[in-house]
A and B are shown apart, each in its own frame.
Chain A
Amino acid sequence: MFGLYIFVLAVFVGYQIITKVPALLHTPLMSATNAISGISLVASLVIAGGSYGKLSTILGVIAVAAATVNVVGGFLITDRMLKMFKRKK
């Protein structure tokens, strides 16, 4: 049940931060949270690396690959986008 406290607190903190993100940066926000959701990689790693049977390993490896796509691609593209936002020189 401790997880529920964590969840509610995280929603609250997230709400406070995300409402302050200007509309200007909504696309980078989306790709950043998409990259952060690649945290499911930590769950996939345990399944791919533990020995819970052949099927689990296969599912785990696909999950690791899919989550890695989000982590790698998500951070790269968010940084690429944010680099472009410039103030008037």
Chain B
Amino acid sequence: MKLQLIYLAYFASTVLFIVGLRGLTKPDAARRGIILAGVGMLVAIVGTLLHRDIITYQWIIVGLIVGTIIGIPMGLWIPMTKMPERIALSHAFGGLAVALVGVAEYIRHAVMAGHITQFTMGALGFEVFFGTVTFTGSLMAFGKLQGILSGRPQTFKGQNTLTLALLAACLGFVVWLIFSPYLSGLFYTVVGVGLLLGILLVVPIGGADMPVVICLMNSYAGLAASASGFALDNNILIICGALDGGSGFLLAMIMSKAMNRSFGNVLFGAFGQVEQTSAATGGSKPVKSFTVEDAAEFLKQASSVVIVPGYGMAVAQAQHAVGELQEILEKKGVEVRYAIHPVAGRMPGHMNVLLAEASVPYDHLIEMDAINPSMPTVDVCMVIGANDVVNPAARTDKSSAIYGMPIIDADRSKMVFVLKRSMAAGFAGIDNPLFYLENTRMVFGDAKNTIHALNAELKK
């Protein structure tokens, strides 16, 4: 009877999860969707607590309390500019949980009971492999985003060979375990190599490729959860893992396409790719710069303004000032739109969230493909802390590291303002011909201060 109740709870929560995710296809229905999914989670947890194998509740309660105490600040108080870091960190928690479950299941079946089927062993092997890679890989991504580790790619001689060899060895060990499941030393070797692989896979990847890494970790966390569902014969884990794994993979594909990267790059991250730093030669060529007053004067006369936000806007926490600028301009009858490049920022949709936080209505946020055709009619295009996503070299310069990447056609607008601290290159480490164009003006300074000054000037 109890078992049927649990199955019923799982069935109900599966339906709630799917309906909930479906809500995310429309901004207006999204919030109701996520609440439904939350109810689904509650139903699944309460259902599980009826499980006959659960004898004591005291340790469960300890775990739930500790998790809640850590989870609430991570949900309520982390600033939106820190979203990429937060997501990376919670992927690490997800990977850790699944990997630990895998180890505990192995001990329970293979070590203590002395009986494990080949199918269960295979599933546990993959669960632990994906779980450990997700755990350390996500921690590395977090460290890079947070600035604890260098955002530059870290490489050493023979790194690719070592990583590939370890990857092959790890998968080989999993297969070996399927045939000899009681070699517990081998099982713990898989755990160790998985942890090491997570580090090795992410260390060579630079900050600009973090959107892909975060998506991949999302995908791996899901695959790990799915594998645990196979091991435990638990359908809700299989389904939720598949949803998570699939969405991470799809987002990674979208990000790679937006950066003109290959399918192989999706699967292995930007594996072994070293960004070029030699081509950064900014500073020698002449640029025209504008003071805030000059810029304000042009904005007053514009009838159409497009803002291109980038990671620099997030770093300067300038999104609220930008939102205010938009309101001021709109009151003056200027049409203001935002051009959103899919890989602007450090995770998919990063700019959308920041601008939503600054109360910018989402129907003002226009995707790259939709806004590009109208760029030649735009009076002023303001590039705020974005470099590579507006670099025309991607269109013309075959030797450029970003050649072939779709960009926002800022250079085709009538006038371009580039808000930037200095002439330093962006994350791809390459120079940007946009800065030297006839119709481009550099407005140097911290984005937040500059826009505040602009707002004050425009209000005069």
Chain A contact residues, CB within 8 Å of chain B? 3, 6-7, 10-11, 13-15, 17-53, 55-57, 59-89
Q: How far is the CA of A89 from the CA of B75 in the complex (A)?
A: 27
* Given A39-B225, A49-B57, A65-B66; A34-B75 close (CB under 8 Å): no
* Given A14-B247, A84-B357, A87-B361; A26-B349 close (CB under 8 Å): yes
Q: How far is the CA of A18 from the CA of B22 in the complex (A)?
A: 8
B18 within 8 A of A: yes
Of the A-B pairs whose beta carbons lie under 8 Å apart in the complex, a sample of 21, sorted by A's number, is A6-B235, A14-B243, A21-B25, A29-B349, A31-B90, A32-B34, A33-B218, A36-B244, A39-B236, A42-B47, A44-B100, A46-B54, A48-B60, A50-B53, A52-B104, A61-B60, A65-B62, A68-B66, A70-B94, A76-B72, A81-B80
Most chain A CB neighbours (cut-off 10 Å) among B63, B228, B237: B63
B41 touches A49 (CB 8 A): no
Which residues of A have CB within 8 Å of B424? none
B37 touches A35 (CB 8 A): yes
**Chain B residues with a Cβ closer than 8 Å to the other chain, count:** 109
A49 touches B53 (CB 8 A): yes
B63 touches A15 (CB 8 A): no
Which residues of A have CB within 8 Å of B104? 47, 52, 55-56, 59-60, 63
B357 touches A24 (CB 8 A): no
Which residues of B have CB within 8 Å of A85? 27, 30, 352, 356, 362
A27 touches B238 (CB 8 A): no
- In chain B, residues 210-224, which have Cβ atoms closer than 8 Å to a Cβ of chain A? 214-215, 218, 221-222
Which residues of B have CB within 8 Å of A48? 59-60, 63
Which residues of B have CB within 8 Å of A30? 87, 214-215, 218, 247-248, 251, 347-349
- In chain B, residues 133-174, which have Cβ atoms closer than 8 Å to a Cβ of chain A? none
Closest to B353 in A: A27
